[in-house]
Amino acid sequence: MRDKWGLQPICTILKIAPNCYYRYKRKIPSNRSILDEILKVEISRVYRENYSCYGVNKIPITLNKEGVTIARCTVARLMRQLGIVGKSRAHKKVVTTKQDKTRIALS
Protein backbone atom coordinates (compact mmCIF):
# COMPACT_ATOMS: atom_id res chain seq x y z
CA MET A 1 0.00 0.00 0.00
CA ARG A 2 3.01 2.27 0.45
CA ASP A 3 3.42 2.70 -3.33
CA LYS A 4 -0.20 3.82 -3.69
CA TRP A 5 -0.57 6.26 -0.76
CA GLY A 6 2.92 6.85 0.60
CA LEU A 7 4.40 6.12 3.98
CA GLN A 8 3.35 9.26 5.87
CA PRO A 9 -0.46 8.89 5.42
CA ILE A 10 -0.33 5.20 6.32
CA CYS A 11 1.69 5.91 9.47
CA THR A 12 -0.75 8.67 10.41
CA ILE A 13 -3.74 6.34 10.09
CA LEU A 14 -1.99 3.55 12.02
CA LYS A 15 -0.78 6.06 14.62
CA ILE A 16 2.87 5.04 14.42
CA ALA A 17 5.94 7.12 13.71
CA PRO A 18 7.70 6.57 10.34
CA ASN A 19 10.99 5.86 12.13
CA CYS A 20 9.29 2.88 13.88
CA TYR A 21 8.43 1.47 10.46
CA TYR A 22 12.01 1.82 9.23
CA ARG A 23 13.43 0.35 12.45
CA TYR A 24 11.13 -2.67 12.13
CA LYS A 25 12.02 -3.08 8.46
CA ARG A 26 15.78 -3.30 9.06
CA LYS A 27 15.48 -5.40 12.24
CA ILE A 28 17.55 -8.57 12.12
CA PRO A 29 15.89 -11.65 13.65
CA SER A 30 17.52 -12.91 16.84
CA ASN A 31 19.34 -16.23 17.05
CA ARG A 32 16.60 -17.58 19.33
CA SER A 33 13.81 -16.75 16.88
CA ILE A 34 15.74 -18.36 14.01
CA LEU A 35 16.41 -21.50 16.08
CA ASP A 36 12.76 -21.56 17.24
CA GLU A 37 11.54 -21.68 13.64
CA ILE A 38 13.86 -24.61 12.86
CA LEU A 39 12.80 -26.45 16.03
CA LYS A 40 9.11 -25.87 15.33
CA VAL A 41 9.49 -27.78 12.07
CA GLU A 42 11.23 -30.67 13.87
CA ILE A 43 8.66 -30.75 16.69
CA SER A 44 5.78 -30.78 14.20
CA ARG A 45 7.45 -33.58 12.24
CA VAL A 46 7.94 -35.79 15.32
CA TYR A 47 4.40 -35.03 16.46
CA ARG A 48 2.90 -36.03 13.09
CA GLU A 49 5.11 -39.12 12.68
CA ASN A 50 3.88 -40.45 16.01
CA TYR A 51 0.17 -40.18 15.19
CA SER A 52 -0.21 -36.82 16.96
CA CYS A 53 0.20 -38.57 20.31
CA TYR A 54 3.62 -37.51 21.58
CA GLY A 55 3.69 -34.67 24.07
CA VAL A 56 6.12 -32.58 26.06
CA ASN A 57 7.83 -35.59 27.64
CA LYS A 58 8.43 -37.81 24.61
CA ILE A 59 9.22 -35.27 21.88
CA PRO A 60 12.50 -34.06 23.44
CA ILE A 61 13.58 -37.65 24.09
CA THR A 62 12.97 -38.53 20.44
CA LEU A 63 14.71 -35.41 19.15
CA ASN A 64 17.72 -35.94 21.44
CA LYS A 65 18.05 -39.51 20.11
CA GLU A 66 18.09 -38.05 16.58
CA GLY A 67 20.88 -35.66 17.56
CA VAL A 68 18.81 -32.49 18.01
CA THR A 69 19.61 -31.13 21.47
CA ILE A 70 16.51 -29.57 23.00
CA ALA A 71 15.16 -29.09 26.51
CA ARG A 72 11.71 -30.12 27.72
CA CYS A 73 10.81 -26.53 28.64
CA THR A 74 11.68 -25.36 25.12
CA VAL A 75 9.47 -28.06 23.63
CA ALA A 76 6.63 -27.00 25.95
CA ARG A 77 6.96 -23.34 24.91
CA LEU A 78 7.10 -24.13 21.19
CA MET A 79 4.21 -26.60 21.38
CA ARG A 80 2.10 -23.88 23.00
CA GLN A 81 3.02 -21.52 20.16
CA LEU A 82 2.15 -24.19 17.60
CA GLY A 83 -1.10 -25.00 19.37
CA ILE A 84 -0.43 -28.74 19.57
CA VAL A 85 -1.10 -30.96 22.58
CA GLY A 86 -0.12 -34.56 23.14
CA LYS A 87 -2.71 -37.18 23.93
CA SER A 88 -3.23 -38.25 27.52
CA ARG A 89 -4.40 -41.59 28.72
CA ALA A 90 -8.01 -41.78 29.80
CA HIS A 91 -8.12 -42.09 33.54
CA LYS A 92 -11.05 -44.04 34.89
CA LYS A 93 -12.52 -43.03 38.21
CA VAL A 94 -11.64 -45.66 40.79
CA VAL A 95 -14.58 -46.66 42.98
CA THR A 96 -13.58 -48.35 46.21
CA THR A 97 -17.04 -48.99 47.62
CA LYS A 98 -20.20 -50.51 46.24
CA GLN A 99 -23.32 -48.40 45.99
CA ASP A 100 -26.13 -49.27 48.39
CA LYS A 101 -29.20 -49.31 46.14
CA THR A 102 -31.60 -49.78 49.06
CA ARG A 103 -30.56 -46.50 50.71
CA ILE A 104 -32.86 -43.56 50.10
CA ALA A 105 -31.25 -40.31 49.01
CA LEU A 106 -32.40 -37.34 51.11
CA SER A 107 -31.47 -34.57 48.74
- pLDDT in the model for residue 105: 65
Q: Within a domain: residue 63?
A: yes
Q: Within a domain: residue 96?
A: no
CB crowding 79-105: b at 16 or more within 10 Å, else e: beeeebeeeeeeeeeeeeeeeeeeeee
Q: Within a domain: residue 90?
A: no
Domains held by the chain: number: 1
pLDDT tens figures, 46-101: 999 999 999 999 999 999 999 999 999 999 999 999 999 998 877 778 777 787 77
- pLDDT in the model for residue 31: 96
Give the Å distances, CA to CA, from 49 to 5, 6, 78, 85.
48, 48, 17, 14
Indicate yes or no: pTM above 0.85: no
Domain that residue 68 falls in:
2-82
Q: Within a domain: residue 75?
A: yes
Q: Within a domain: residue 54?
A: yes
- pLDDT in the model for residue 77: 97
Q: Within a domain: residue 13?
A: yes
- pLDDT in the model for residue 97: 79
